[in-house]
Structure 1
């Protein structure tokens, strides 16, 4: 695949590292677990949305936009990073915040909510779960147009075929790194939410004939719905990059056993995973995405899905600023 055909900004001047989680591997007594540290990507606080924004913001600039507009949940890492990219490029940013849990948005909250203010968001519009998010963002764009300005609308999570290119590129980066390391992976695991990261990885792996199974751990939706979403975006992304073969439906696996009571709502398994990674490896996960995804990986190990000695890569998609909004849940006190 020739991704150089697509315009791209660069917010991270290096590949993110792959590290062996030797203490966690020993603790679980199963496969050898590795972690791809996309929490160390560029922009404010890092995370997977940085890769997507490299392609999306390049298009925004090419179109002459002066303001980025996007949507996300109350503690949205995507909103934080979109705002940070806007600051980096000298643009303004307006956010639409979706209350997926009724009454959950608190302007004075810690975590990403605090960072929205610190990074200088121009305006925040709060909507409720079930509202038409595309219409809400278009209303913001129309308001800007009425002022003689030009907004660029970025979908939630940056998850469209252009944004998913970030993880097509990441799949190629992982394959190059593991080749250099002499590391033959048997499986990969990632969080599966707005579908752009999961879909992009599927396309990148398929386009390189990697033959590497990928499991998504759902953070919001039931398995049938999420697998449909991921497959749809993967098919559209594959067509966008010009792959000759579509993405096979059977390669899409999205497990929903670790969602718990709902999006962003804590589970005992998430708390255990966040505390284990912090205390065994010094790695900070987040309570909404990577905490639940790692809980899923740990659960799969405990039920014997991976053989002892197999090599499994976990994609760390970032999100640690949200930890500070969950102190009451995650603290040992």
Structure 2
């Protein structure tokens, strides 16, 4: 399978480390792929998706990127950084309030020179695409040609970033002499999971791809992933046939909701940081790793020998509330 052309932004391949003390504690082999180290301003999983999506934008002679997300969106910040690197414009539609603290990703969005439109949660849920289309039209009047990226760059072209990441993992298995039979990632918009799943299916490996949803529910994301798999095939020319039951989403770890932290989640992230020297984020990887550990304790992973967790980044998403939950 040949992937379309992509631009190179990320520092790849990202390394794989064993979580020695956590593995010993749980009696299983747990490894972590450090996609949080893809870069600095562009750190995390979003840049892998942007490498394909932004190439498509450039191929279409676009000089502006429009996208959306929460006010602490990692994807929006990565988009702003990529646009700045290329010398083109970025316009971010963010779910947030005018009096929101200028910190974390929101601060970096401003630092990187992105134009920003804040909208309400209701507007975001019901009208974000229409709002981005309006901005595209306004930019056209200014003489610009804009390219709209969906939330998380989770569409067919963006998901190819994690088809490529799965190829990378398979190469690293050979180098390390390890076969991962379970690969686990946080699921917030579906593109990372869909890309991993597609390439894993095409390569017909023995690995099971698991997602831990950080918002919505398993039924919602199973439908999202099925749609993305069809979109991916339009770019690769190879369609795969998957039943909804084949999509493995470990539900039950959303907690209070998207980007809302509970004390036990923060306590877990803090414990892992002290135990392994790895800092997760409270929005995505913290919930996902917490879910993985709980499922290991329940026996869900008893059939697996080597588990690989994808650290998708997000360290800039630590807001004041979450930081205050961290103990000594």
TM-score normalised by structure 1 residue count = 0.93
| Equivalent-residue separation in structure 2 for 1:176 and 1:132 (angstroms) | 42
| Equivalent-residue separation in structure 1 for 2:100 and 2:10 (angstroms) | 30
Q: Contact conserved, 1:203 with 1:247, CA < 8 A, in 2?
A: no
SS in 1 for 2:318: helix
| Equivalent-residue separation in structure 2 for 1:106 and 1:116 (angstroms) | 16
Structure 1 residue 207: deviation in Å?
1.1
| Equivalent-residue separation in structure 1 for 2:69 and 2:302 (angstroms) | 38
| Equivalent-residue separation in structure 2 for 1:73 and 1:280 (angstroms) | 31
1:122 match: 115
The correspondence for 1:266, drawn from 246, 254, 261, is 261
Specify every segment of 5 or more residues in structure 1 that has no aligned partner in the other structure, as ranges.
none
Note closer, same or farther for the CA distance 1:64–1:309 as it changes in structure 2 (3 Å cut). closer
Q: Contact conserved, 1:68 with 1:152, CA < 8 A, in 2?
A: yes
Question: Does residue 24 in structure 1 map to residue 17 in structure 2?
Answer: no
Q: Contact conserved, 2:253 with 2:287, CA < 8 A, in 1?
A: yes
Tell which deviates more after alignment, 251-260 or 323-332: 323-332
The correspondence for 1:238, drawn from 229, 233, 242, is 233
Structure 1 residue 327: deviation in Å?
4.3
| Equivalent-residue separation in structure 2 for 1:68 and 1:140 (angstroms) | 11
Specify every segment of 5 or more residues in structure 2 that has no aligned partner in the other structure, as ranges.
none
1:55 match: 52
SS in 1 for 2:47: helix
The correspondence for 1:37, drawn from 5, 30, 34, is 34
Question: Does residue 213 in structure 1 map to residue 208 in structure 2?
Answer: yes
Note closer, same or farther for the CA distance 1:138–1:273 as it changes in structure 2 (3 Å cut). same
Note closer, same or farther for the CA distance 1:45–1:106 as it changes in structure 2 (3 Å cut). farther
| Equivalent-residue separation in structure 1 for 2:143 and 2:289 (angstroms) | 46
1:9 match: 7
Q: Contact conserved, 2:47 with 2:78, CA < 8 A, in 1?
A: yes
| Equivalent-residue separation in structure 1 for 2:314 and 2:8 (angstroms) | 20
Tell which deviates more after alignment, 55-64 or 230-239: 230-239
| Equivalent-residue separation in structure 1 for 2:145 and 2:272 (angstroms) | 43
| Equivalent-residue separation in structure 1 for 2:189 and 2:303 (angstroms) | 32
Note closer, same or farther for the CA distance 1:265–1:327 as it changes in structure 2 (3 Å cut). closer
2:166 match: 171
Structure 1 residue 324: deviation in Å?
4.2
TM-score normalised by structure 2 residue count = 0.94
Q: Contact conserved, 2:52 with 2:160, CA < 8 A, in 1?
A: yes
Per-residue CA distance 1:33-88 (angstroms, 9 max, x = gap): 00011001135150000000001111111111111100001210000000000011
| Equivalent-residue separation in structure 2 for 1:308 and 1:276 (angstroms) | 26
Structure 1 residue 92: deviation in Å?
1.1
Tell which deviates more after alignment, 139-148 or 246-255: 246-255
| Equivalent-residue separation in structure 1 for 2:99 and 2:153 (angstroms) | 24
Q: Contact conserved, 1:202 with 1:214, CA < 8 A, in 2?
A: yes
1:85 match: 82
Note closer, same or farther for the CA distance 1:40–1:321 as it changes in structure 2 (3 Å cut). same
Note closer, same or farther for the CA distance 1:331–1:264 as it changes in structure 2 (3 Å cut). same
| Equivalent-residue separation in structure 2 for 1:132 and 1:116 (angstroms) | 22
SS in 2 for 1:71: strand
SS in 1 for 2:120: strand
Tell which deviates more after alignment, 55-64 or 322-331: 322-331
Q: Contact conserved, 1:30 with 1:308, CA < 8 A, in 2?
A: no
